[in-house]
Amino acid sequence: MKRSEINQALKVAQRCFQEARWALPPKPRWDVTDCGLGRFDQVGLVLVNLAEQPEYCEKLMYSKNHQVTPMHTHRKKKEDIICRSGQLAIELWKGHPEQTRKGERFSILRNGEKTEVLSGEPMVLQPGERVTIQPGVYHAFWPESQEAIIGEVSTANDDANDNFFVDPDIGRFPEIDEDEPPVARLLWEK
């Protein structure tokens, strides 16, 4: 990813957060990823770590229309994905999509209530709605609206060791082409 793309993504996300009246911490811990694919407009996400403790983590994320966070799972992390503004589509699979029958039923918590869902069938969350994702449940999400603010509250976060993507070419952290100075250092940069 070019640093200029990262800088622009941060500016757009900040604008969206300000318009939605989301107050960020005094020193936001930013993250931007194109998942190593070099197609940030189609695959990627802007994140702000609001809290990162040994027991729990909270993130605020920004994504624009049809910008996908690719199919992945976690071995340890349990998380709530929350639509904070816009409309958020989320596709869930009971197990690995290549080893699970599309349409296979399983239960999740949606807005705190047990709900039956079908593997591979996207659902759309409205502002304030949430789904609880257990370890081992594969998930991908993207805005159905022009943009979305997405919340995540989870158990301890380990982006380096607990993200398992279906696509083996995906990497969590992008390589950066320093074509201009950074407006902010990303949380994983030294």
Domains of the chain, start order:
3-165 (2.60.120.10)
CB atoms within 10 A of CB 42: 13
pLDDT in tens, 124-164: 999 999 999 999 999 999 999 999 999 999 999 998 899 99
Q: pLDDT, tens digit, for every residue of 9-42? A: 999 999 999 999 999 999 999 999 999 999 999 9
pTM, to two decimals = 0.95
Among candidates 158, 185, 181, which has minimal Cα distance to 77?
Answer: 158
Distance CA 14, CA 177 (A): 22
Q: What is the DSSP string of 140-167?
A: EEEESSSEEEEEEEEE---TTTS-EESS
In contact, 172 and 35? CB cutoff 8 Å: yes
And the tokens for 99? Answer: 């080893």
- Report the pLDDT value the prediction gives residue 173, as an integer from 0 to 100: 84
